[in-house]
Amino acid sequence: MSTATPSVRRWCSFRLGSDCFAVDSTGVVEVLRSRRLTHVPLAAAGVLGLVHLRGRIVPVVDPAIRLNAVGDRSAAAGTHLMISVGDDWYGLSVDEMLDVVEIPDARVERPTAASSRGDAVAGTYDAGTRLVHLLDPGHLIHSLVRPAPHFGIPCGGPHGSG
Q: Which residues bind other proteins (CB under 8 A)?
A: 36, 38-44, 47, 50-52, 54-57, 59, 88, 145-147, 151, 153-161
CA distance 150 to 91: 25
Q: Closest distance between other proteins and the C-beta of residue 39, in Å?
A: 6
Q: Closest distance between other proteins and the C-beta of residue 63, in Å?
A: 15
Instruction: Write phi, then psi, for 151 (nearest 5 degrees).
Output: -100, 85
Among residues 3 and 161, whose Cβ is nearest to other proteins? 161
Q: Closest distance between other proteins and the C-beta of residue 59, in Å?
A: 6
Among residues 28 and 58, whose Cβ is nearest to other proteins? 58
The b-or-e profile of 91-102 (16+ CB within 10 A means b, else e) is: bbbbbeebeebe
Among residues 60 and 64, whose Cβ is nearest to other proteins? 60
CB–CB of 28/85 below 8 Å? no
Neighbours of 6 (CB within 10 A): 6
